[in-house]
Structure 1
Amino acid sequence: MKIYLPKNVEYIINTLNENNFSAYAVGGCIRDSLLKRLPKDWDITTNAMPKDIIQIFNNTIPIGIKHGTIAVLLENVTYEVTTFRIDGKYSDNRHPDKVLFTTSLNEDLARRDFTINAMAYNYKDGLQDPYNGQDDLNNKLIRCVGNPGLRFNEDSLRMLRAIRFSTELNFKIDEDTKSSIIQNQLMIQNVSMERIRDELSKILLSDFPSIGFKELNSAGLLKIILPELSRCVGFNQKNPHHDKDVFEHTLTVLDSSSNNLIVRLAALFHDIGKPNCFTIDEHGIGHFYMHAIEGARISQEILKRLKFDNTTIKTVYILIKEHLVNRNNLKIPAIKKLINRIGIENFPYLLDLQIADIKGHKPPYDFSSILHLKNCVHEIINSKEPLSLKDLKINGNDLINIGYHRGTIIGSTLKELLELVLKNPKLNKKDILIDIANKKLYT
């Protein structure tokens, strides 16, 4: 078996060999190569010590010298070269307190998380696979190297990584590995929110994110990481328009949405407010009045907790809040207001979410109202009519020049003028708007 190595990777390995050291491409790049996937990056492992690596190569960066990792820079690309090592005790269930360098490749591979990530390769020695990672690739299995309990105690994030790899590759998690995740689920609390966020994002951006969230639930991690979403599991909607509980509906919407993190986050949390808003009428039918507003609020809390950036938090909040907007009877001025509220750049996201939401309901599906809304928005944009405050032919300085005092009255007056312009674009002329503003000021 031959695995293609990029020329710079081959150069690094050969250069180390010429200096009497062994070296291999290792980890995810070998896994992806065997799966016929394009590796995102290439890591190299060697018995050369960090000081040797620095001496051998002209352009290096000691990015993790404490743990034996040196970045070798070739043609403006960095390649991480790490000395064979044995990890010491993990007192924080996340990072080794210290590492011991070793001359054994097998000992280095033994410390890695899963068998499919514990393979190494070079042209001279071929595939090095002491833990049968290739067999697990062929059997579509995620299995820890050695004792899963020890692996998860070393690094609790590996529990989430197991589920992420299972989702991305559509592999099954080995029974002993899955049982150990369930047994050690509380240790996920030792992992930083940033690292949890990153793994959840990768799950969300997989082809079928529902796989991952089902695994998170069955492994007991969902109730710890996203307790608000866990409440939706098995929540009977008692509504003739729904043939799924809130969680199953959410997963269908998630898989039906486009592969975009903003949309996927909105899909994941779009109905998360339903348990808080559930009522049953006299006919035994369930209703969730105001759940979009409640869901937007909850999503904001979750995304802040997970350390997402402010733009993502704000956009997801808007999409969830507006996802139930009545599409059937909207007139042009109301559509303009909607565009103004969500931002024209976010409108494709809203339509995407609404289409996915319909697919999560009980068939038959009717997309005609969404198509109508899309066409109306297209016409409005093409007409280049004013849609926001920046499109007004008047601004705050103009209001001050005609006698308005600085303060909140400036903003409120501009908003009132925009309301008039949204209804009648012909009013968007500076002299007309100043005349209207003057009348408002002196009446």
Structure 2
Amino acid sequence: MNSDFLRRPLTTTEKLNFKEIPAWVTQAVVFLRENQKMVYLVGGAVRDLIWGSTPSDWDLATDALPDEIEKIFPKTLPTGKRFGTITIFSAGQPIQITTIREDFPYSDGRRPDQVLFGSDIVKDLARRDFTINAMAYDFETQALIDPFNGRADCYRRLLKAVGNPRDRFREDGLRMFRFYRFLASHSLAAERKTEGAINPEWAKFVSYERIRDEFSKLLLGASIRKGLAGLAKSGLLLELIPEFYSADKAQSRLYSYLREHSFSAAAAIQRLLPLRLAALLHDIAKPASLTITKTGPHFYGHERAGAEMSRVILERLRYPKKLIQKVSLLINGHMFFYQPNISDSAVRRLISNIGPENIPDLLELRRADIIATGKINPKTLEHWKDLSQRVLAVLRSKSESKNGSKLAINGADLIEKLGVKPGPLMGEILSYLNEQIIEEPDLNQENRLLEITRQYLDSKNLRD
């Protein structure tokens, strides 16, 4: 197909948007054109510019072969040289440049068995996943090459496969997860034929690492609920997190409620990956923890069991250890008890148990859990606000105490009045005293702190 017949002029607004292409990108274009090479802006950058947003990645397509790209640019990385992709650096910024190509069948469900390099940009666009990603901007003519009506789909905010959707998804099963990630990230509508072509069986050929990356982006999307609901409806969630389902039909209603509540909690919480994962999985162990007594159903200990289940799930999805620990910690602590009449010491113990660095996230998880019930009790929210204010007050007090401005004695007092020598022991004592006054602020008096120090030294047999 001749691309000349498919060139579309930009609208006035689009021209303004495309003028925002950074100088370091156009400099790379100049280098290629000076070497008599064709070059196009492709992929998500074209889509984002049409939407008037700033692209996060800049990809170029060219008829230059990989070896030629490496000769044209002084600093390169062979990111995927076998498939025609070289990463170059322009003004220190990375740009992926890929040789225009035509793909052969994908027998491994991930990559084409063979690629044929060429110069037909339309054939190159035909191998892409969705129409909104299958456009090219011609720097020479300043026109849009749009053989699959991607621009119209951009404005309709419609997510549609290029060509036969079954072929696209069978070529690379990850595209099914990308489909729902795009729905969540860009608040798009699903084209019915495209969504209907999704087959969870094709997900079995995709590594967890690749799925994890798309799933994480979905979780951070503005329309996360749409993405999660799509995964559930299509059967992909069953492949990804089977713990959300039961083989026992008698429990189907409970599991259905679990999914709905979990999706709502994930949508209600801040857009930070550890928080969204914690919200999604916070009740994952409820069905397994169900007990029924005369007073009704109970889920005793589901937070502890859920912390362990979340660890297993996230390890399977190859998430980093530190993130897994954070999510597990939050889930384990999310059922903490609170009433306005509990003591300040109890609030301080809560902070100590979960860690001052984690307590704001735990409060945010509780807030999302409350909202996700769908029946918000004003008194419950008032309790949450009250606890948040009390926690903030304690954290401020602790911060002031840590910098030493509030402690009634210092290292010099310990040396002069108790004969403590400078060194690790002095730091240990001051840290201990800080903990004591956080627990009981009234102890922050010189004579009382000196007495506490004497008792501390006696307990360790360190006094002369």
CA contact (8 A) 1:142 1:172 kept: yes
The separation in 1 between residues aligned to 2:349 and 2:108, in whole angstroms, is: 51
CA contact (8 A) 2:25 2:90 kept: no
Which runs of 5 or more structure 1 residues have no equivalent in the other structure? 239-243, 394-415
When normalised by structure 2's length, the TM-score is 0.81
Q: Which amino acid aligns with 1:274?
A: K
Match of 2:171 in 1: 154
When normalised by structure 1's length, the TM-score is 0.85
* Structure 1 residue 190, shift from structure 2 partner: 1.7
The separation in 1 between residues aligned to 2:338 and 2:254, in whole angstroms, is: 23
Write out per-residue CA displacement over residues 91-126 of structure 1, whole angstroms, 9 at most, x where no aligned residue: 221122332101211111111111111100023331
CA contact (8 A) 2:148 2:162 kept: yes
The separation in 1 between residues aligned to 2:401 and 2:300, in whole angstroms, is: 29
Partner residue of 2:226 out of 211, 215, 220? 211
Report the CA distance shift for 1:52/1:439 in structure 2 as closer, same or farther (over 3 A).
closer
The separation in 1 between residues aligned to 2:219 and 2:57, in whole angstroms, is: 21
Match of 1:289 in 2: 300
Matches within 5 A, 1:104-183: 104-125=120-141, 126-181=143-198
* Structure 1 residue 423, shift from structure 2 partner: 4.7
* Structure 1 residue 435, shift from structure 2 partner: 3.0
Matches within 5 A, 1:237-256: 245-256=257-268
The separation in 1 between residues aligned to 2:436 and 2:56, in whole angstroms, is: 52
Q: Which amino acid aligns with 1:115?
A: T
Q: Which amino acid aligns with 2:390?
A: C
Match of 1:73 in 2: 89
The separation in 2 between residues aligned to 1:7 and 1:149, in whole angstroms, is: 39
* 1:357 maps onto 2:373 in alignment: no
The separation in 2 between residues aligned to 1:227 and 1:165, in whole angstroms, is: 23
The separation in 1 between residues aligned to 2:347 and 2:245, in whole angstroms, is: 35
Match of 1:266 in 2: 278
Matches within 5 A, 1:50-69: 50-69=66-85
CA contact (8 A) 2:183 2:189 kept: yes
Match of 2:398 in 1: 384
Q: Which amino acid aligns with 2:344?
A: I
Q: Which amino acid aligns with 1:381?
A: L
Partner residue of 1:41 out of 57, 65, 86? 57
Report the CA distance shift for 1:56/1:439 in structure 2 as closer, same or farther (over 3 A).
closer
Describe the SS at the equivalent of 1:367.
Answer: helix
Report the CA distance shift for 1:172/1:78 in structure 2 as closer, same or farther (over 3 A).
same
Q: Which amino acid aligns with 1:132?
A: N
The separation in 2 between residues aligned to 1:323 and 1:24, in whole angstroms, is: 51
The root-mean-square deviation of aligned C-alpha atoms, in Å, is 3.3
* Structure 1 residue 15, shift from structure 2 partner: 3.0
CA contact (8 A) 1:336 1:387 kept: no
Q: Which amino acid aligns with 2:356?
A: I
Match of 1:21 in 2: 37
The separation in 2 between residues aligned to 1:7 and 1:387, in whole angstroms, is: 50
Identity %, equivalent residues = 38
The separation in 1 between residues aligned to 2:311 and 2:150, in whole angstroms, is: 41
Q: Which amino acid aligns with 2:391?
A: V
Q: What count of residue pairs does the alignment treat as equivalent?
A: 417
Partner residue of 2:330 out of 314, 319, 335? 319
The separation in 1 between residues aligned to 2:232 and 2:163, in whole angstroms, is: 25
The separation in 1 between residues aligned to 2:128 and 2:334, in whole angstroms, is: 43
Write out per-residue CA displacement over residues 133-184 of structure 1, whole angstroms, 9 at most, x where no aligned residue: 1122222221111122221222110110011011111212222221221xx2
